[in-house]
Each structure stands twice: as structure tokens, then as C-alpha cells.
Structure 1
Amino acid sequence: MGKRSRGHKRGDARLRILRDGDAPPTKRGTTQPGDALQPLVLELRKRLRNPDPWELLAFVSTIVTATEGAAAPEVSGNALHGLVESFIGVDLAETTAALHVLAVLVRDEDLVREIDAELGHRTQPMPLWLRDIRDTRVRRAAVVSAEDDIGEDIILGIEWAGAGEASFLTYIDHAAGTVVKDAFPAPMSVADALVHLEGVPDDDADVELEELDLGVARALLEDALDQGDDLDNDFESDTWPSSRPILEWLLSALPEIEVDLRGGPGVEDVDDFAEMVLRERADVIEEFSRSAEAARVGLGLTPDGQGRDDIAISLIVGADVLLPPEDFRRWTPERVHELLLTVLPANVLVDEPVAERIPQVLKAFGTWSLTGLDAPGADVTALADAIDRDGREYVALATSREAGNLREAIRAYERLTGLEDLALPILESDDASTR
């Protein structure tokens, strides 16, 4: 599960009193909310009366986002704990409704048990979808992409308990590092949502739909959440990150599968990986090899594919396996940071010649790619600066004493056991038997 963003304060302005920890727990069992809780009860009442479940869910999700990491000086724990205690202390339909939603959106297991214990004593009638909220199911997943858009919408089809269908849309931005940039609920089925997306004017761009396995959808979205946390992005909209608790709840109901989405050479035979990448991107690589940028860095590709430049270019062009061929040339500083300081260190060990060559080849390939796409000069400059900056850090990491010791330790253990592929693959341009 992706780590929930820290420090995001955006949300409904009426919740500022909760973020500041000014709503102390009310005496358990009362039906009279205090002055601090009264405005919140009124908001909950309005949303509980709305037939669209998303109205209440979105509001409570905003509460969780606003209070989960906020300090609450007048109560033990964070502001969310204090708020839950306040709801438990006021036995009203509105607080009962909020507790039902909090029971699925909160990730603190002890707090959830406390909520469930209280709900066992509540008697107010609730809408069927809310009473049985844990029976909510994600029945369908699809990815929607448009021409010339470096990103895609992943749509989850929701089935409420006794209340029909709905959708939850998440936009993943590849240009920013394959991260979640926005997410929001929609009170319509997936089919209706697709019709709506196709009708959005966007220079008549063709919209493509691909059905997703539910486990793959979970892996894609969780990886994008983790990427956003790793890059410490702070994208905000009217619905993000306030809807993150909803997304995490829905993902928790999907099947888990083991899949490598980071694009590193996490395969049994690294030679086969390099050959596969070079083969699939052969046209682009050949075009690049004839460019002035390639000539300036002295690019040299060998027939057997074992030279330092062969390894460098295969790691570079194979880093974004989720991107279609027409998009992977659109390099950004965020993608550079992800490749050099996350993907490569986590997936492969290289010797010094290869390590030093990767930033050089990446700078030539990235600037050539953007120039060929008629990108603004400022974007090309920003990319080059990012490669220079992160490239130095990557080379220092890849050529460190610790990295050298790790390579030797892996080889020693393989000699001892007679087994291979037990750890990170090792790529060295001088070794024709590279793992």
C-alpha cells in the first residue's frame, strides 16, 4: 500500500478547527454535540441525506486527510484520534454515519477496532450502502489514454451494497515520474464515465480503452502512489490528495499480485533483457546513433551488445516499460531523478565504466529526444541540468566502496552455493559472461 502523503493541509476550510486540534473529546453517550462539533454535524447531516454515497465518503475522506497527521495537543494521539473520540461520545445518526465510513478509511487497526466496538451499540437506521459499506466491491478496472497525453486515467468500477454502480478515476502522470496527479469519484458506471471522457473536447484526440485485470490495476496504482511518495510530489486539486483514503480503501479490496512495474532489469537473464530492449527500441536507437548528439558523446554500439554503451542505452531506454514508444522519448527531470536514483540503484549493479557512461549517454539521448519533439528550449536546458546534477550523485553511488563490496559479495556467494540470480544482477562491459 502506498504511504499516505504527509503534510497536506488542503481540504474543506470548515475543517480547520479539526486540523488545529481544537475539538476535544465529548463525554461519551451524549446526544448534544458541543459548539466545536456542531458545524461538522450539520455538514454530515447534509451529506447523509444526499442519495449519492460519494458525497459523504468524499467529505469524510477529506477529514481523514486533514487530521490523520496533524497534532492534537488536547488529546492523546493525533487529531484523527481525537475526532473519533468526539464522534464516539455523541450518539447521533450523523456521527454514526461518519464512524461507518471511518471504519473503512482509517488505517490504524486499533482505532478501527474502537470504532467497530462503538458501532455495535448504535441503533440509528443507515442507508444500505453505508450499513454494509464493507461489502462494497470493485467489479471492473480499465485504463483510458488519449493521443499525445503522457498519462492515463485508471477507472475502477464500484458496486455499492444495494445502491447501484459508481466509478473512481485516478490520473497517472508519466511525465512527472509515473505518479498519481489527481483522483476523484464519479456517480456513474464505468460505461457512462467512458462516454463522458470521450465527449471531453481535447483537440479531437482519440480516446483508447483497455480493460485491466483487477490485480494489475492495484499494482499500477499502488506503484504510482509509492512513486509519488518517493519523489515527494505535492500535487493538489479540489479532490487530491483529499480522496487518497478512498483510493487506498478501494485498492485494499482488490487482489494482490507480484509484478515488477519499476522498469528495471529484474529478470533472470540480464543479457536477454538488454537484447530485448535493444530489439524493441531498435528504430529509435538507430536514429539516435546517427544524430549529432550521439556523435558528440562518441556513442559506440558493438555487434555483440556487450560494450559499455550497449549496456548504458539498454538501461536507459528500458527504464519506462509502462510508456508506449511514442511517449518514452519525452524525458523530464522527474523521470531522470527516478531512473538514476531509484530504478537503477534498486535493480542493477554496474562497474565504473558503465556507471560513468550512463549519465553521458542519457544526456545525449534525452536532449536529442526533446529536440526532436520540438520541446521548448527551457525544457531541454532543465533536463540537461537535472542529468548533470543527478548523474553525479548516481556515479558516486554506483562506484562507491559499498557498491564494489556488494558486487564481490554476490559473486562470492554464488561461487559458494553454485547458484545464480540470487540478488541484484551485475553488468560489466568487460565481462562477456555478465549476469
Structure 2
Amino acid sequence: MTTPPPAPDVRQFLNDESPVDLIEFLNGLFYVERVAREEGIDEGTPVGTTYFEELWGEDSPESTMALAVAAVLDPNDERKSRTQEILASREHELPAWAEGLTQASIGEVIESTQYAGDIVYYALELAIPGSEPVAVNVSIDLTETNGAIYDCFATALPLDAVRDVMRRNEDQERTMTVPVAGLKKVLSNALYLDEITIPSHENESWPLNRPLLTWVISLLPDNEAPANGQTFAAARARQENDDFSDRDKVLKEFLKAEKLTGDDRDAAEQLFEIASNYTMADLLHWSPLRIEIVLDTIARKVIAAQDYLETFPLVLERLLVWSKKQIKRPADLHTRLMEELEEQHKNFAKEVTEEPEYAEGTIGALLQKGRPRLDESPLPLEALNTEDLSPELVDRVKATGKQILRWFRTHQTADVEILTATRRLLHDVAVVRPDLISDPRYTPAQLGALIVLVTYDNSLVLIDEDSVLRGFDLAEPIDEEVEDFFEALDDIDEELARPAGYFLTSEMRRRWNVVYKTT
């Protein structure tokens, strides 16, 4: 991959009425370069740089046209700057759109949502002076990758033509023009999630068109979505601000309509928490894949008595039937959902009857030892204890504690009890596993994120890991490191012998007593 492919004849693009085809070609070149770099097979000069050096040295209309597009797309900032310098010295008659790229802007935006809720689609009018209409189509996967980019490509079509195609698609529930406000944050977050998702979604146009999407995002305004807006961008903004009123409204209506009480009500509340944390669609829209993901997550994550676990598929069935009426779900989709639920119910029953193994100190291990009744009084607000720590750890623990406190002050759903639980866990890990706290691989922000994630997970309080990473300004996933900190719970249980429920909130202990009918 150190030798570039033969330079194509870019003259074919000179008579185009838009840059769409040239954008696709250059994105292909950038993609080859990225793959070579990621797979470690490009040991010399990057293939893109070799190609652009040819364009820099060839003073012609064709090369200048290609450089004009590269000047807005190239993900290599240093190379892009060099291209822009060379462009400033060129004087050629180019297609009007090549001259207009630097004045490009985003016009009207269309949002289209599915009955199934797996994907939300956007069509953005990319207004380029001198070009025929261009629409950039971007879709976000709300289920399998929980918010990462699903696809992106440009078409030489007016937005009205794209709108007509969307409206003729029977799978689409709603297609409408939406405000551009808030879209930059939605697409930026989806692009970020794509970067950290392994494996990311791939097809013939994604991630090939990542440079195109990056450019489009740069053209969007920074303003926030309206707080009370009905678009996906507005709903997502509320969720990221820890405003779960959309979810809670649907839950309240469902509980009232179905008159759920007791275990059924508790199961419905947990079902809604899990579905909204592990998939991004709202709770009225379901797909076969979402049913599989949610029931599989419940089977693996919810530790409870057998009779309580068996209520989840039954409650989900009632939710599917009820939500069908609310959104007027098409009959064929509803039939597929019920068939998938029947199949996944069998898998769920098999999964929850197997006896799992839990690390000592976790709530699962506590359950297997018996079902003691837990004190339901709230955890008091406790300061971070550093008095019995070795001197070389104190500054490190305090710095981590400050990061945790900073996160809690901006995370509206975090309460005093969770804060106390994180401080207890941070202290105990420092006592029994000082090597984890002093490990130079971890910054205080990373340590804080790890402590928060383990505290929430151990308390069975669901939280979106990506939102925690963003809250601590972290760009890389920390899944493997979380396991190290869960293992520390074994040592805490053996060495410190903390009482049952020491790291659990009062609500979790109350739910424990209700679900397991302790005495």
C-alpha cells in the first residue's frame, strides 16, 4: 500500500454540474489511506500524500478542480493547509461549483423516522454556489450501535425529490422539515460514537464518506435544539441533559392504561430504564432487533428471583400491544414483533434459568448466599475518607474525588446516595488495590469514570457509558479497565467485610426487599 494507485483521469469531472462524483472519488482515496494506516500496512508516505503531491505539481484545470474539493474534505490538516496555499496561487477557469465550495452552506433539513425506531434519517440541503442541487443523506443507528452513524452519502438531487422518496417508503412513520438547531451536536455525537464503536457499521458508502460528513458538520450552526422541540435532536438533547421526561411520560401513560401493580409495575420501570439506556429509540417504537437486545440485556444484567424475571417478557408483550395503538403501527410489522418476542421469550427463559457465577462482594453474590433483608434508610452524605490511606495515594485519591464531584454537579440524576457510594468505593479500592489507583495508565478523570461506572452497575442503576465518558471528557472506551475494578470488589469483600448493601442506594435496597420478598 506504499505505492499509490494510478492517478485517475479527473477530467471526467470537469463537465459535472455538481461535485458529488468527485467528492465520492476523493473520499475513496482518503478511505484507502485510513485503512492502510489503521492496519499498519502503509509504512512509507501515505498514499493520499503521494497522490496530492502529483496534483500540487501539475498546474492544470483538472488538478486545480480536484484540489478545490480536497481543500474542504481532506482529513489530514497539514496536507489540507498545503493544498489551500497552492490553490491561492492557481488561476484556471473551473466549474462554477469548484469556485463555490468555500461558500457552501446548509439549507433546509428533513428528518424521517421509522415505525420500528431502529434508524433516524436526515437529508440536508448542501447549498453550493454554482452547483445543481445536492442533498447529503445521513442516518443514525439507534439500536444496534446505540446512536452511531449508520450511513452517509451525497446525491445530486433537490431536497423535494429526496422527501418524496422518504414519504413513499411505507416503513417511515413521519417525514418533515425540522430546524437545523441542535443537529450539529447530534451528528457530532453520532460520529464520535462511530469512532469508538468496535466494530463500527460498514457498507458501501460508510465509513467511506466520513470526510464528507465531517465537512457538513462544520457547516452547521452551534446553537442548541429547542428545549421543548418534537424532533429527534431535541429529544436527544433532553436525554443528554439528564431530562428523561419523554421516557417518564410514556411510562406513566402505559402504567395507567394497563393498571400495572406490584412486580409488573417494578418490571415495567426497569424495562423502560434498560431499553432507554441500551437503545436510543423512544419507548413506543420497537423492532425485532430491539426486542432481542433488551431481553438479552435484562437476562444478563438484572439479578432477581425467578418469578420476578419471568414478568419481563409478559410486560413487554403488553407494551407492544399498547404501543401499537398509540403510533398506529402497521400490522405486518406488529406481527413480526410478536413472532420475535415469542422466539426471544424462549431464549430469555433458558438464559435466566442458568445459574451464573458472580464475583464476591457484588449484589449477585449476595443473592446466591441468601436473601437477607437490607436496611432501607438513605445513605448519608459522606466526605471522601483519605485518613487511613498511604501518603503516596492521598493526592491521587483526592484528585480523583474532585473529578467525580465535578461530574456529579453536572449530572442531574445523580443524588447524594450515589455520590456517597462512589466515595466509599474509591476509598476501599485505594485500600485493597492501591496498584489500580497509582497505575500511571489512568488519569484522575479515567479513575473517576471507572469508579462511577462500577458504582452504578453494582447498584443496578443503569447509566449510559458514553454519557459518562463525555462527562469526564474522555474519548476512548474503558470497558476492559472496568473489569479490573469489578475484581477489586472481591478483595473488598474478603479484606474489609463491608455489610450487605454498603455500596447500594436506599432505592436499590428497597427494590431488593420487594423483589426478593425478604423477611
> Same fold judged by TM-score > 0.5?
yes
Q: In 2 relative to 1, CA 420–183 (structure 1 residues): closer, same or farther, beyond 3 Å?
A: closer
Q: After superposition, give the CA deviation of every residue in 1:138-163 in whole Å (9 maximum; x if it has no partner).
A: 11212012444632311101111122
Q: Distance between the aligned counterparts of 2:56 and 2:285, measured in 1?
A: 51
Q: After superposition, give the CA deviation of every residue in 1:67-120 in whole Å (9 maximum; x if it has no partner).
A: 1342475744x3222322232133332222221111111233222111111112
Q: CA deviation at 1:363?
A: 8.5
Pick one of 180, 189, 192 that aligns with 1:226: 192
1:22: which partner in 2? 3
Q: In 2 relative to 1, CA 430–106 (structure 1 residues): closer, same or farther, beyond 3 Å?
A: same
Say yes or no: does 1:261 pair with 2:236. Answer: yes
1:97: which partner in 2? 65
Q: In 2 relative to 1, CA 277–119 (structure 1 residues): closer, same or farther, beyond 3 Å?
A: closer
Amino acid at match of 1:96: T
2:383: which partner in 1? 412
Are 2:113 and 2:121, in contact at CA under 8 Å, matched by a contact in 1? yes
Are 1:281 and 1:317, in contact at CA under 8 Å, matched by a contact in 2? no
1:131: which partner in 2? 99
Are 1:184 and 1:239, in contact at CA under 8 Å, matched by a contact in 2? yes
Are 1:61 and 1:242, in contact at CA under 8 Å, matched by a contact in 2? yes
Pick one of 249, 252, 259 that aligns with 1:282: 252
Q: In 2 relative to 1, CA 281–37 (structure 1 residues): closer, same or farther, beyond 3 Å?
A: same
Q: Distance between the aligned counterparts of 1:75 and 1:52, measured in 2?
A: 34
Q: Distance between the aligned counterparts of 1:191 and 1:61, measured in 2?
A: 26
Q: Distance between the aligned counterparts of 2:258 and 2:381, measured in 1?
A: 35
1:430: which partner in 2? 506
Paired-residue identity, %:
14
Pick one of 29, 48, 52 that aligns with 1:84: 52
Say yes or no: does 1:197 pair with 2:144. Answer: no
Pick one of 275, 279, 285 that aligns with 1:327: 285
Question: What TM-score, normalized to structure 1?
Answer: 0.65
Which one scores higher on RCO, CA 8 angstroms, separation ≥ 6? 1
Q: Distance between the aligned counterparts of 2:48 and 2:180, measured in 1?
A: 31
Are 2:120 and 2:140, in contact at CA under 8 Å, matched by a contact in 1? yes
The alignment of Structure 1 onto Structure 2 pairs a total of residues equal to 358
Q: Distance between the aligned counterparts of 1:195 and 1:101, measured in 2?
A: 29
Question: What TM-score, normalized to structure 2?
Answer: 0.55
Q: In 2 relative to 1, CA 37–91 (structure 1 residues): closer, same or farther, beyond 3 Å?
A: farther
Q: In 2 relative to 1, CA 398–332 (structure 1 residues): closer, same or farther, beyond 3 Å?
A: farther
Give the aligned CA root-mean-square deviation in angstroms. Answer: 4.9
Q: Distance between the aligned counterparts of 1:237 and 1:394, measured in 2?
A: 40
Structure 2: gaps spanning 5 or more residues? 226-234, 321-336, 365-378, 385-400, 419-460, 462-503, 511-519
Say yes or no: does 1:114 pair with 2:82. Answer: yes
Q: Distance between the aligned counterparts of 1:395 and 1:191, measured in 2?
A: 60
Are 1:183 and 1:239, in contact at CA under 8 Å, matched by a contact in 2? yes
Structure with greater helix share of residues: 2
- Partner SS, residue 130 of structure 2: coil
Q: Distance between the aligned counterparts of 2:166 and 2:217, measured in 1?
A: 22
Q: After superposition, give the CA deviation of every residue in 1:169-210 in whole Å (9 maximum; x if it has no partner).
A: 12223232333222221212212211233345x4xx565223
Structure 1: gaps spanning 5 or more residues? 1-19, 24-35, 302-308, 342-353, 400-407
Amino acid at match of 2:316: S
- Partner SS, residue 374 of structure 1: helix
Q: After superposition, give the CA deviation of every residue in 1:278-308 in whole Å (9 maximum; x if it has no partner).
A: 4431344568896xxx99xx5564xxxxxxx
Pick one of 279, 298, 312 that aligns with 1:365: 312
